[in-house]
Amino acid sequence: MESRPSSTATAPPPAAGVRCSWWDVPRAVRDRVEAGLGSPVEGAETQTGGFSPGVAARVRLADGRRFFVKAVGPEPNPDAPGLHRAEARITAALPAGAPVPQLFLSLDVAGWAVLVLEDVDGRTPAQPWRPDELARVLSAADALSALLDPSPLPVPTLEQACDGQFRGFRALAGAAGDEGEALRARLDPWVRLRLERLADREAGWAAAAAGTALVHGDLRADNILLTARRVIFVDWPWAAIGAPWFDVVATGPSVVMQSEDPDAAVVRLDRHLAPRGADPEDVTTVLVAVAGYFLHACLQAPPPGLPTLRAFQRAQGEAALRWLRRRPGGW
């Protein structure tokens, strides 16, 4: 009989990159931010969650006001400023009342992209996930998708935004020569046995994920803040248009990974999706694509400035497999 993963969870890798502090930002950039805010920064507390190699800090101004500042330059990861610029455009255009931080200022200075946002009086969900907080977040994600369907922004569809990423199983199946064999040898035996089937199923992900809602595209615990009354969703550079349930499926592996009882988390996710119009076959297809993305990505070299990312992706890929193996269809 085929063995299944144990229900005992090991500690997942943290969703944390290598930050730099506010005081490491070039003086000319800090001067522009302070001029835009009308008061100098007196204190800055670096926040560790997330993978950006730049600044993520809660700052206190001399006049007593508080803000959250994100800033990143062209080194060590030249792609990072573009993500901050995309986040600024999307955040500024989201409708009033959306559960997102208010954007007060965005700047481009000497290759640095800077966002000054509302300093939300909240915290990320407890880790491991508490069932009551997970239920609260899933309910808020449903409300968010209802608010943003149809999408209020002219952003790319999920197919346009993610087609290059959601080819992991096809890339692994098609990799030639000794390098391809070496990559496949690092896969879970369960995956190797089904690799062609997974690659075929993955090819249908775009049709399965099609829809009219604006989705966050990168929802995880470190991109969520819980306040006394609200659930706030932060970090929006990957927003795209697709199925309103996409975010729940895409964040599912991180929820499973960060739960004390991963199998119970799988059951909770399936029960949440079932009554919300998500076709079970479409859910499985998108989950296959998500698993393939993580399992292929984690075998690559770390991106510049993001040394912890691959371990986090591997853990999410393994969690996606745990969920997939419980899906109907003989997986």
Identify the CATH number of the domain in which residue 29 sits: 3.30.200.20
**Whole-prediction pTM value?**
0.91
- Say if residue 9's pLDDT is above 90: no
Residue-range definition of the domain harbouring residue 287: 131-325
**Cβ neighbours of residue 312 under 8 Å, at least 6 residues apart?**
12, 13, 14, 15, 51
Is residue 57 within a helix (H) or strand (E), and if so which, with residue range?
Answer: strand 55-61
107-to-20, 29, 77 alpha-carbon distances in Å: 18, 9, 18
Q: 97 and 60 share a domain? A: yes
- Say if residue 179's pLDDT is above 60: yes
- Say if residue 260's pLDDT is above 80: yes
Burial of 80 (0-12, 13-18, 19+ CB in 10 A): buried
Establish if 3 belongs to a structural domain.
no
167-199: b or e for each residue (b if 16 or more CB lie within 10 Å)?
bbbbbbbebeeeeeeebeeebeebbeebbeebb
Count of domains forming the chain = 2
pLDDT value at residue 16: 54
- Say if residue 155's pLDDT is above 50: yes
SS3 172: helix
pLDDT value at residue 329: 78
Share of the chain above pLDDT 70, in %: 94
Establish if 124 belongs to a structural domain.
no
Out of 88, 118, 148, pick the residue that ends a domain. Answer: 118
Q: Are 227 and 122 in contact (CB under 8 A)?
A: yes
Establish if 330 belongs to a structural domain.
no
284-to-40, 58, 74, 246, 291 alpha-carbon distances in Å: 51, 39, 38, 11, 10
pLDDT value at residue 306: 82
Q: 101 and 183 share a domain? A: no
Q: 153 and 287 share a domain? A: yes
Longest CA pairwise span in the chain (Å): 68
Share of the chain above pLDDT 90, in %: 85
- Say if residue 65's pLDDT is above 90: yes
The whole-number average pLDDT for the span 105-124 is 96
pLDDT top residue among 167 and 48: 167
- Say if residue 17's pLDDT is above 80: no
Establish if 4 belongs to a structural domain.
no
Rounded Cα distance between 93 and 236, Å, is 11
The whole-number average pLDDT for the span 244-272 is 97
- Mean pLDDT is lowest, of 11-20, 256-265, 267-276, for 11-20
Q: 109 and 135 share a domain? A: no
Burial of 157 (0-12, 13-18, 19+ CB in 10 A): middle
The whole-number average pLDDT for the span 233-246 is 97
Q: Are 33 and 107 in contact (CB under 8 A)?
A: yes
pLDDT value at residue 35: 98
SS3 41: strand
Q: What is the CATH number of the domain that holds 214?
A: 3.90.1200.10
Is residue 285 within a helix (H) or strand (E), and if so which, with residue range?
Answer: helix 280-297
- Mean pLDDT is lowest, of 164-168, 188-192, 306-310, for 306-310
Q: 291 and 314 share a domain? A: yes
- Say if residue 32's pLDDT is above 80: yes
The whole-number average pLDDT for the span 126-153 is 97
Q: 78 and 141 share a domain? A: no
Structure tokens at 139: 């309910």
- Say if residue 201's pLDDT is above 70: yes
Q: 208 and 109 share a domain? A: no
User: What is the pLDDT of the chain when averaged over all its residues?
Assistant: 93
Q: 77 and 147 share a domain? A: no
Rounded Cα distance between 57 and 244, Å, is 31
Q: 111 and 137 share a domain? A: no
Establish if 298 belongs to a structural domain.
yes
- Residue 5 backbone phi and psi in degrees, to 5: -60, 150
